[in-house]
Structure 1
């Protein structure tokens, strides 16, 4: 090869020396092949005579390519780079027969091979044309594959750039509309399938109902008059689990939702140390209640009632199992009275828990949505009405602004008043801020039911909320609940008459000294989300015995307030997954959201810069030509078919 060949310019001096002998043999072999073809082209026995010699020459030529021309392999690798997507360019290069761009055409072949005939030249020219077509097709195919891979690669880089830009933009927006605010607003929307809605729809079984009953220990002595006070002994607790279910949920266009709330109580033996089969000595609620109801009846009515009592032999105190006292307490007097005056005696089962839960299903309409933030889940209607329908005073009778205690509005402040509706108390009761504390690692507020919640008001305007019109006023500390129980004479108070007028206990013995921590009511709420973390609602139901004159069997019970039972509704806590979500929302997210947003901004910008750098670098690399040489260009094309390998 000539010395101006680009390949030889890259060789070292050692390579030139090592290849000199092989190059000489290479040139000599080519010359011999051409001379042999020129002199023997008209000889019909040419191929037979020289076949063995030419096969040997072809073998020697292959050895030259393998041993003395290793750069052919390198050049083939360059062609592979082009196929892989690298832009390639072709330039002129030297061969032992001069500088050229492409294989010798037919005229050059004629000039070089002076002894070639026209037929051989035409044959060789046709062969070269066929080869050129094959090379062209192969090059076109490689070019298409190269462009395709290049397009895919560029598309991927552009996609990464767009992803990085999107991440950076969204992260920047999160500094304005923080994830905390978005999460809190989504909770207010009550979207089906989200944790806030699912938790409300099926609240966890974490509300325990503890019931304490009062057993009479001196029934005979009190009835025969030897003892003037009724001695009581508190027994309990009997523990139930209250299950709350919400169903038939309907959303309205005015920002309210209506649902049906249903509560049930299930006894759990594993939580109890006392048996429901134990025997109690308790007041006969049917006899005493009906007697108190007839306290102002006319003389004839009372005579008829006395005759009925004598015939049925109903006693004011009787024995019953705990289970019957809770769920199946009755008396022959009730069944007879119901058959006579069904509108006055609508039920024949006087079980104390049966009366609470047999119809503990109500239709409730509440506010929801971000635009009702301060009114979130406060009642708009209860059983289709904005009032309970128990009291004449609208202030006492309204349900608007109260809650069922399942959740409260977000962003609770210390000066807020939380209103709680419990149907058993027959009215809405307020809760006021008591103190701040920490619970489960989160700051919480404790709101207490005020000690004077059952006290008679002094303004006279709200007295109607405590006493039914036409009946004697109750002592302070008692709230009339008879409208909620078919006008049955029952009143609500704190357990053991805490903060009540001492007159209510003048004919009673055995009651415990009231303790606000044991007998008061409160709720501990997380102020940011409004989720109650713990609550205890305690109240006592009492039989109100008005002055019963003319009914001999019960005259000893006149002007008494006999405690029936007291109950504690205790939300003992929250499930771990609700607690974890609250902790993340209240503690972790507000502190970390800024750093998370900044980190995503940096990540998005870094991804954009990196991919842009890759695109720029690739563009420069594609514009730089890579010189490739075909191994076919290193040898001249000859018209001889006998020397082809």
Structure 2
């Protein structure tokens, strides 16, 4: 039996994390399909603002190897006071994710499979563009082709509801093991040892031939390694991104009473690696372009890739047939500012965009093949944590005060010890003196009494 001690059942983070979602709506679908417009135009709508809560439950300490295991659960809560009234009921026009994703997934299949797909699509009545509400797009998106395909080939369509946030958060309850204790050192404090009992990104199984997509020594973003410096590299893990990414030091930043170190995600983070065998995120079929990172392993094999929002810092060939992107560094880059001694994040923004990647399509209808070699923006998300609880701010202040005076503490403790010793000796001397004086007084009184008695006898 595993030697472990259960300490707490639940630990809820007090950090305030806002999740802002921006969706893309097509404005010229009919004109583009009729070849009147060369580019498919997308318009950003949002933000739709949620609060993300994180709690760690079923917490177990493992003293035999100085690790902690817990279940990490994230949930979203709609913040009506921060949203435009009725925003979830707004109608948007989007490429039909189900129709196009299934076609992309079946591109390398034989003609018989493609014929079956065409038959299912024809009977379903689905089109390549869909009118829907923002709420349905995020939380309750389905289509007739999904329902039909699940009856015939359920292994290909594991989910009926493909709402963007529903897919991301419906099963967000994962077992995590992290390191703690002096034996692991400052640079591994609270770093991930395993996720879902494996050292790799969920969906990557090296023993089955998959690339070793490691998440070891990464952090969920609630706490980073201690004693950070300008050479430290922060490795940030986010399951919704389907990978861990490194952040590098850029500058020192003052946030109120706290001095923080800012670490940023480089523009080249999603570029292809020179060693193809080590590039776990190059894509399942054709290699993705620099600036794209494959997420299909985390989303049932569907051709989804992450990029920076609005394709910031990149000019994709696959985006030549779309318009409407407005990249801006201040709005679209990712960073974290952490207190360097304790590794506590005091301000951080993680921004990423999800896209549907369509390869060159053959064997499908013309309206589907029109999407060949395109990357279609779906939505982008910003996670922002910029408010520390007062008790954590006070903890950082106290810790830094103690750190600044720690070189003087031995002298302070030595002086305090001498002072306490002198006080103790002084008290002991007073007690001894008291006991010495009492018998002396009594003897003097006894002598006086005897003298008085003698005088009375003589009289």
- Which TM-score applies when normalising by structure 2? 0.89
**2:196 aligned with 1:383:** yes
Pick from 430, 437, 441 the counterpart of residue 257 of structure 2.
441
For the structure 1 residues 497 and 341, does the alpha-carbon distance in structure 2 shift closer, same or farther, using more than 3 Å as the test?
same
Q: Cα–Cα, structure 1 residues 385 and 378, in superposed 2: closer, same or farther, change >3 Å?
A: same
Residue 358 of structure 2 corresponds to 545
1:523 aligns with 2:339: no
Q: CA deviation at 1:391?
A: 6.7
Structure 1 residue 417 and structure 2 residue 233: aligned? yes
For the pair shown, the structure with the greater C-alpha radius of gyration is 1
The 1:534/1:241 distance shift into structure 2, 3 A limit, reads same
Partner Cα separation in structure 1 for residue 195 and residue 107 of structure 2 = 33
In 2, Cα distance between equivalents of 1:191 and 1:291: 49
1:206 to 1, 16, 19: 16
Alpha-carbon spacing, 1:227–1:409, altered in 2? closer, same or farther (3 Å)? same
Q: Is the contact made by 2:125 and 2:144 (CA closer than 8 Å) also made in structure 1?
A: no
Structure with the larger RCO, 1 or 2 (CA within 8 Å, 6+ apart):
1
Deviation string, structure 1 residues 232-268 (Cα, Å, up to 9, x no partner): 1111111111111111112221111211111111111
> What is the Cα deviation at residue 355 of structure 1?
0.5
In the other structure, the counterpart of 1:427 is 243
TM-fit CA distance, 1:395 = 7.5
User: What's the counterpart of residue 319 of structure 2?
Assistant: 505
Structure-1-length-normalised TM-score:
0.64
The match for 1:223 among 24, 33, 46 is 33
Q: Give the conservation status (yes or no) of the 8 Å contact 1:476–1:501.
A: no
The counterpart of 1:307, out of the listed 106, 119, 137, is: 119
Q: How big is the shift at 1:623? A: 4.2
Give the one of 168, 174, 178 matched to 1:362: 174
1:52-67 map, 5 Å: none
Q: Which moved more, 1:348-357 or 1:379-388?
A: 379-388
Q: Which deviates more, 385-394 or 342-351?
A: 385-394
**Any conservation in 2 of the 1:391–1:465 contact (CA below 8 Å)?**
no
Aligned residues of 2:204 and 2:210 also touching (Cα < 8 A)? no
Partner of residue 107, structure 2: 295
> C-alpha distance in 2, partners of 1:524/1:325?
33
Q: State the Cα distance separating 1:205 from its structure 2 match.
A: 4.3
CA contact (8 A) 2:25 2:42 kept: yes
The alignment yields a C-alpha RMSD, in angstroms, of 2.6
Higher fraction of helix = 1
Match of 1:567 in 2: 381
Equivalent position of 2:144 in the other structure: 332
Counterpart check, 1:466 vs 2:282: yes
Higher strand share: 2
Alpha-carbon distance in 1 for matches of 2:368, 2:38: 14
Q: Does 1:270 align with 2:81?
A: yes
Q: Distance in 2 between matches of 1:372 and 1:537?
A: 27
Give the equivalent residue in structure 2 for 1:65: none
1:30-88 C-alpha deviation (Å, 9 max, x unpaired): xxxxxxxxxxxxxxxxxxxxxxxxxxxxxxxxxxxxxxxxxxxxxxxxxxxxxxxxxxx
Q: Is the 8 A contact 2:176 2:195 kept in 1?
A: yes
> What is residue 535 of structure 1 aligned with on the other side?
348
Deviations 1:368-421 (A, max 9, x none): 112222321112211112223527588751222112121122112221221111
Structure 2: stretches of 5+ with no match in the other structure: none
Deviation at 1:589, TM superposition (A): 5.2
1:578 matched to which residue of 2? 392
Residue pair 1:396, 1:428 contacting (<8 A) in 2 also: no
